[in-house]
Amino acid sequence: MNLLICPVCHEQLKLADKTWRCENNHSYDVAKQGYVNLHVVQHKHSKNPGDTPESVQARRAFLSAGHYGPLQRAAVEKIKTLRIENLLDIGCGEGYYTNAMQGEVMQCVGVDIAKNAVQIAAKVNKAVTWVVGTGATLPVLDSSIDMCTSLFSPIPKAEILRVLKPHAYLMVVTPGPQHLYAMREALFEEVQAHEPHKFADQLGDAFELIDESLIDAPMTLQQQDLKNLIAMTPYAYKAKPKRRTTLESAEQLALAAQFQIFIFQKK
Annotation: binding site for S-adenosyl-L-methionine = 68, 94-95, 179
**Burial environment of residue 159 by CB neighbours within 10 A (0 to 12, 13 to 18, 19 or more):** buried
Q: How far apart are the C-alpha atoms of 173 and 169, rounded to whole Å?
A: 13
Rounded-to-integer distance, Cα 144 and Cα 164, Å: 6
According to DSSP, the β-strands at 27-29 and 35-37 are: unpaired
List the binding residues.
Answer: 6, 9, 22, 26, 68, 94-95, 179
- Residue 221 to residue 187: CA distance in whole angstroms: 16
- Nearest 5°: CA angle at 81, between 79 and 85? 55
One-letter amino acid at 62 equals: F
Q: Binding-site residues for Zn(2+), please? A: 6, 9, 22, 26
DSSP state of 105: S
Q: In angstroms, how far is the first alpha carbon of the chain from the final one? A: 25
